[in-house]
Amino acid sequence: MTKEQILKFCKEHNVRFVNFQFCDLLGTVKSVTTPVSKLKESLENNIWFDGSSIEGFARIYESDMYLKPDLDTFALVPWESNGDSAVARIICDVFLPDGNPFDGDPRQILKKQIKRAQKMGFDNYFVGPELEFFLFKTDEDGAPALITHDRASYFDYAMDKAGPIRQAMSEVVSQMGIDVESIHHEVAESQHEIAFKYSDAITQADAVITVKTALKAVARQWGLHATFMPKPIAGINGSGMHVHQSLFKNNKNAFYDEKNTKYKLSKTALQFIAGQLSNIHEIVAVTNPLINSYKRLVPGYEAPVYVAWGQTNRSALIRVPIFLKGQSQATRCELRCPDSSSNPYLAFATMLAIGLDGIEKKMTPPESIEENIYEFTDKKAQRMRVRTLPDSLPEALKKFEGSKIALDVFGEQTHAKYLQAKQAEADKYRLHVSDWEVDEYLGIY
């Protein structure tokens, strides 16, 4: 939409306020709201704000920044709108006073990696995330409680109480311009998944942020709480964000090769997969950024902890989905470790970076594995050179800290700020005395 079209739309739909949104380094949505009477001025002159107050942004002596609206992201906010008045939102890029993009803006970090791919001859990086989440009941004060909303299981119908809620979620998300492909009950009680149409990484990162916000808003309308916490309940499956990926060149899928009899993957695809397998340890602190993320990444709950790849093997880190004959454009690889607590701009940027590293270095992936790796003995896994992902955030942060790839993606200042924020989180957890420790040790020792 043009500025004129947006102004006309706002007048016709009685829009009263517009939220100018952006993300901090940890993926939290931030917003500056202006009344519609100031919208024309904001669209023409941008919106100034204090960047020193935002996690991972500027230092106090370089705090002035401004938001530059991406007009393509304009949308009504259904849960803040009614018949009498409406609220809209626009996602923004963060700029410095000199007119240059702010290097620490997560959206800008992803754009830089896309430009890198384009310099290598690729049109764009396409992704299709699948977001898993839980719906929990709330207490009398409206606070979330660990009480499941239903007892249904995977694709269940008879026991599923959330059908109307998921339909409402799908409608709201669609109203905001996101093409929902499916939304269904997942494996665990009260666990669900939403997937939307494959698109370029910037569009999809915007969509992830929008969907998470929208689903929480709809859940509140039903007296429930939607959470993307990776492992809220011990002993059952956690929630991930599997991401399907492909590179396109000359409007054709660069991952497809008819001549390759195994999986129909091109040399580019194999090199991309090799890069992700080789470098995944360096970026898992980004794709799985919470202490709680590593409670999900354990064997036995369909979480991919083994650094391997295959097609029918869902215990592997990377899976190559089967596609029907004549659907070569659908060729892709699915990275299965990320979860929805990650900042999607940073997750997609680092995922792309390690894949491109494999292409640049002409890496060759190890042999694919179609066996259930969960059943491997330690000796067999060692013989087949199957590594595991880091089993804690501190371990993942050590890899991130020493990673040249992560440093190149983030830039020196933002890399240090992300590391500092996540190390503080890890230290806070390390100092915490849990209920389990008290129950286990107080009476004995």
Q: Which of 150, 186, 206, 257 is catalytic?
A: 186
The helix (run of H) or strand (run of E) holding residue 145 is strand 144-148
Q: Which residue has the tokens 């993009």?
A: 101
End-to-end alpha carbon distance in the chain: 67
Angle at 113 between CA 109 and CA 115, to 5 degrees: 115
Residues 195 and 287: their CA atoms lie apart, in Å, by 18
Q: Which of 105, 193, 282, 339 is catalytic?
A: 193
Q: Which of 189, 206, 282, 334 is catalytic?
A: 334
Active site residue 4: no
Angle at 348 between CA 219 and CA 357, to 5 degrees: 160
Residues in the chain: 445
Which of 104, 118, 83, 121 lies closest to 25 in space, CA to CA? Answer: 104
Angle between helices 344-360 and 106-119 (to 10 degrees): 20
364 three-class SS: coil
Contacts of 239 (CB under 8 A, 6+ apart): 131, 132, 133, 134, 186, 191, 228, 229, 230, 231, 232, 296, 339, 340
Backbone angles phi, psi at 128, to 5 degrees: -135, 95
Distances (CA, A) of 386 to 192, 317, 319: 31, 11, 15
Q: Which of 50, 139, 367, 412 is catalytic?
A: 50
Active site residue 336: yes
Q: For the chain, percent helix, then strand, then coil, each to nearest 5?
A: 40, 25, 35
The one-character DSSP state at 236 is S
Active site residue 314: yes
Active site residue 171: no
Which of 205, 312, 318 lies closest to 271 in space, CA to CA? Answer: 318
Q: Which of 149, 244, 332, 336 is catalytic?
A: 336
Q: Which of 225, 242, 281, 296 is catalytic?
A: 242
Contacts of 144 (CB under 8 A, 6+ apart): 136, 138, 225, 227
Active site residue 430: no
Q: Which of 130, 160, 206, 357 is catalytic?
A: 130
Q: Which of 105, 132, 339, 357 is catalytic?
A: 132
Residues 102 and 63: their CA atoms lie apart, in Å, by 11
Residues 364 and 306: their CA atoms lie apart, in Å, by 18
Active site residue 186: yes
Active site residue 193: yes
Residues 276 and 282: their CA atoms lie apart, in Å, by 10
Q: Are 195 and 128 spatial neighbours (Cβ–Cβ below 8 Å)? A: yes
Q: Which of 314, 371, 395, 401 is catalytic?
A: 314
Angle at 211 between CA 254 and CA 153, to 5 degrees: 90
- Which residues are known catalytic residues? 50, 130, 132, 186, 193, 242, 314, 334, 336
